Amino acid sequence: MKRYWNMDVEEIKKELETDDKNGLTQEQANERLFKYGKNVLKEKKKKSIFSLFIEQFKDYMVLILIIASIISFFLGETIDASIILVVVILNALLGTIQENKAEKSLEALKKLSQPLAKVVRDGKVMEVEASSLVIGDVVLIEAGNIIPADGRLVEAKNLKVDESVLTGESVPVDKVDTVIENENIPLGDRLNLVYMGTTVTYGRGKFIVIATGMDTEMGKVAGLIENERNVKTPLQLKLEELSKYLGTAALVISAIIFAIGVLQKRPAFDMFMTAVSLAVAAIPEGLPAIITVTLALGVQKMIKKNAIIRKLPAVETLGSTSVICSDKTGTLTQNKMTVVKLYINDRKVNVKEDEVKQEDYFLLKNAALCTDAFIDEEGKGIGDPTEVAIVAALNDLIGLKKADIEKEFPRIAEITFDSDRKMMSTIHVMDKEDFRLITKGAPDNILKRCKYILKDNKILPLDEIEKNRLSSINEEMGKEALRVIAVAYKDIKEIPKNLNSDEMEKDLIFIGLIGMIDPPRLEAKHSVEICKKAGIKPVMITGDHKITASAIARELGILEDNDEAVTGEDLDRISDEELKERIKRISVFARVSPEHKMRIVKAWQKNGAVVAMTGDGVNDAPALKQADIGVAMGITGTDVAKEAADMVLTDDNFATIVAAIKEGRTIFANIKKAIHYLLTCNLGEIVVLFIATILGMPMPLKPIHILWVNLITDSLPALALGFEPPENDIMEKKPRQKGESIFAGGLAYRIPLEGMLIGLVTLIAFVIGLKQNIETARTMAFAVLTLSQLAQALNVRSDKSLFKIGLFTNKYMIFALIVAILLQVILIVTPINTIFGLRNINVYDWDIIIAMSVTPLLVMEVVKFFKKQY
Ligand code: ATP
């Protein structure tokens, strides 16, 4: 690589044929993208559909079936052998389709959370996908960004970058935009370069891209990155374990049936085939795939509801969330700020009703100079809403444009805003040699740094009494739910080289206060209500003043009579033990720094809670990682916060978190329904064969019947359960406890009971059919086994009566049932029946089949009635 750190900007511009002001033209960018490729780290090759299909045959149960089919073939049972093979192939196809679908939706998810980069092209600032950056592009970065490519800085304002991913150095590096003379220096010392994958922790900057994709330093060390395709959720892992136990149990039972059958002198080969088919049918091998598909489906539904899941296990955890710690601004409120009150010179000004005087101009002008916001040509406010409100007030109240006053008093330096200091400062040229430092921020913090106050154009000392008075005016405004910003200034003679907050932001002259309203989001109140019903505690966390925060929290129903509101300062005084006890009562945390969020999450977790925590800034990342569900803001959130989060809200809305929790609960409930369904069906099959063997009856089902039933019922209807709509009361139950068994909530009794019922009705149909002949009996048993399992799919849809939830509320289920019933009927009434050893039966037999098939469903309706689950 060229030694870009030794070159000055002009050389680099020439070398890379670009311009640091206007950037590349879009045409140049397109050409370079075409020529040099995308700015991405290459991933290892993905599995093809074919290899997914082949993988299906690695399952040892499938291998046993293939062996069974080969044995049948050699014993002359060609038809059986072929049917088994067809079943195996159909099964593999189904597995491939399911896995492919799940993988596709996960991939789509990954695409959605791809980072964007701010570039200058054709002289305009625009956002593009980071993957489309090319060499020569001019990129803007600010705190919270993950740097999208390697580059040479042409502007660095207080820029600090955490390069630990590359250099291992955990202290952020101060970056510069000047030439570095040394030729041979390690990566970490090239202070005017930035590298892909490192993060901006402070300040802002502008760089020219010098390397992209695999040519970046990151590309060189990372090599090919693993494709994270096999992230398994705790439930999936648990179920894999369960499947193993159930599989072993199925094998043992099959072996017992085989042994008893042989002892009874039944043909050994027939018994072997029966045992193998039973084992194959009884092992819930389809379960993991069905769960993955259900999770993936849920994830897609969540995208439509503005929640992007970044880590699959989050879907599951979401359902058990018991506390939501949410930022206030923008999440619970609209983040549309409007200045409504001013306070200056002992005067309270209600901007709608009162006259705006010359002294108010001074307040607004200074405040507006100390912002990064502006109003664009179309009249749209660009920048932080707090600052947009100030610039808009300047425009609307006194008809001044920020750009004009900035021309008059150009900004030459700044100390950027951070949520720990809760203030920011800018330095402007007033006269040739006079400069002005303007500071604006949280009134309590600003007052601490003020020594004087401006009154009637005179600078007077600011004593404690006056400070207290100003604090109470600030609180009064807070009670009206206003966000209050204080503005102060001082004139200085020179600008120190190192701008340091403690040295600069002191001995200030207080000018006044600006109060702005940020109305709560309309939907937030309703969502808070839902949370309360669902046993989820909503908690507000904000950098804003306690009184402002409490006023809004009360309006939203978050803060109720017996709840507490505490500040970051209070938190610093409370021990971890005390916090653990008190936290259950605290509904508002105000004036907190991102560091406090970590303590809040941990205190709740010590109480056994499952915590969702929102965040947007760089410093929020540790708390987002610590939380059970880290939630990042899609619009205002930084790359770093998004990277650390499990879920990203594309609309930054509290209501979306609640909607996602509902979806999470639904997904978990649906997975439980699928498990319930598959286990009862399998148990039913075991009961039939086990009882028939013990009683010395002829075998009610042939091996191919068992395989067929398994194919029909384990596929479409089981998948359709994943589409079940949420039950009406899903948000009226308490959250699921951490570590709660999958069989909690009645499954432990329902599975054995319903499995037995299915087995019994099948046997009864068989015994009735036996009065005619064995083929009729088998046809009836086969039909009842399939149809009662299909009816069971309706039964497991809810703890409540089918009539209560509505028969037609899941159209996928109706479709699945119609297809399955049609296939079954075709098998029985068409000539194919002879292949399966079946025969056409009369209407009377069909009546019995139907009656038997719906009996388990009806019995369970009665049980549900008596359990008052109507
Ligand atoms: P929340 O945590 O609810 O989202 P927030 O993000 O607004 O609140 P911060 O951004 O940390 O919290 O702001 C904390 C305080 O800092 C605000 O109450 C305000 O007084 C002050 N403040 C916010 N934005 C600015 C700004 N651009 N310039 C100066 N001060 C600001």
Residues 325-369: tens digit of each pLDDT: 999 999 999 989 999 999 999 999 999 888 888 889 999 999 999
Kindly give the number of the ligand 1 atom that is closest to the alpha carbon of 384.
Answer: 27
- CA 180/CA 6 separation, integer angstroms: 5
pTM of the model: 0.84
Rounded Cα gap, residues 174 and 194, in angstroms: 11
Looking at residue 232, its pLDDT comes to 66
CB 679 within 8 A of CB 751: yes
CA distance 380 to 136: 30
386 lines ligand 1 (CB under 6 A): yes
According to DSSP, the residues that pair with 458 across neighbouring strands are 455
The strand pairing partners of 374, in sequence order, are 382
Q: Is the CB of 485 under 6 A from ligand 1?
A: yes
Nearest residue to 566 via CA among 544, 588, 547: 588
How many Å apart are CA 325 and CA 615, to the nearest integer?
Answer: 9
- The CATH code for residues 1-230 is 2.70.150.10
DSSP string computed for 57-72: GGSHHHHHHHHHHHHH
The whole-angstrom separation of Cα 703 and Cα 88 is: 13
Question: Does the beta carbon of 335 sit less than 6 angstroms from any atom of ligand 1?
Answer: no
CATH 1.20.1110.10 assigned to 234-301+661-867? yes
Cβ–ligand 1 contact at 441 (below 6 Å): yes
Give the per-residue pLDDT at 165.
81
338-517 topology per CATH: Calcium-transporting ATPase, cytoplasmic domain N (3.40.1110)
444 with 483: CB under 8 angstroms?
A: no
Ligand 1 atom 25: the closest Cα is on which residue? 441
Integer Cα distance of 855 and 179 in angstroms: 84
Q: Is 193 helix (H, G, I), strand (E, B) or coil?
A: strand
Smallest CA separation from ligand 1 atom 16, residue: 422
Residue ranges of the chain whose pLDDT lies below 70: 1, 44-45, 60-61, 105-106, 109-110, 112-113, 222-232, 285-286, 868-870
> What does the DSSP assignment read for 121-161?
ETTEEEEEEGGG--TT-EEEEETTPBP-SEEEEEEEEEEEE
* φ/ψ (deg, to 5) at 155: -155, 130
Contact 308, 115 (CB under 8 A): no
Instruction: Report the alpha-carbon distance of residue 119 to residue 148 in Å, rounded.
Output: 11
What span, in angstroms and rounded, lies between the C-alpha atoms of 309 and 663? 12
Strand 508-517 relative to strand 450-455: parallel, antiparallel, unpaired? parallel
Ligand 1 atom with minimal separation from the 333 CA = 3
Most informative mutation of 328, 333, 386, 487 for ligand 1 (most atoms within 8 A of CB) = 386
The residues with which 32 forms a beta bridge, in sequence order, are: none
CB–CB of 163/195 below 8 Å? yes
Helices (H), 283-412: 287-304, 313-318, 358-369, 385-398, 402-408
The vertex-724 CA angle with 718 and 730, nearest 5°, equals 130
**Alpha carbon of 385 to ligand 1 centroid (Å):** 10
β strands within 232-337, DSSP E: 307-309, 323-327
**In the chain, where are the structural domains located?**
1-230, 234-301+661-867, 307-333+521-652, 338-517
Cα–Cα dist 212/119, whole Å: 14
Q: How many CA atoms lie within 13 A of 662 on its CB side?
A: 22
* Amino acid code (one letter) for 478: G
- Distances 851 to 249, 765, 842, 857, 859 between C-alpha atoms, Å: 31, 10, 14, 11, 12
Q: Options 3.30.70.20, 3.20.20.10, 3.40.50.1000, 3.40.190.10; which CATH number does 307-333+521-652 get? A: 3.40.50.1000
In the reported structure, the alpha carbon of residue 389 is separated from the centroid of ligand 1 by a whole-number distance in angstroms of 13
- Rounded Cα–Cα distance for residues 469 and 450 (Å): 14
Position 228 scores a pLDDT of: 47
654 lines ligand 1 (CB under 6 A): no
Cβ pair 317, 311 in contact under 8 A: no
- Please answer whether residues 581 and 531 qualify as being in contact, where contact means their C-beta atoms are separated by less than 8 angstroms: no
Contact 782, 709 (CB under 8 A): yes
- The verdict on whether 327 is a catalytic residue reads yes
Atom 24 of ligand 1, residue of closest alpha carbon: 386
Encoded amino acid at 647, one letter: M
Q: Which amino acid is at 838?
A: L
C-alpha 19 to ligand 1 mean position (Å): 35
Residue 68's alpha-carbon distances to 273, 344, 539, 548, 805, in angstroms, are 7, 91, 60, 74, 43
- What pLDDT score was predicted for residue 112? 67
Q: How far is the CA of 739 from the centre of ligand 1 (A)?
A: 38
Q: Other CB atoms closer than 10 Å to residue 209's CB: what's the count?
A: 28
CB burial of residue 203 (10 Å; 0-12, 13-18, 19+) = buried
Measured CA to CA, the distance from residue 145 to residue 805 in angstroms comes to: 48
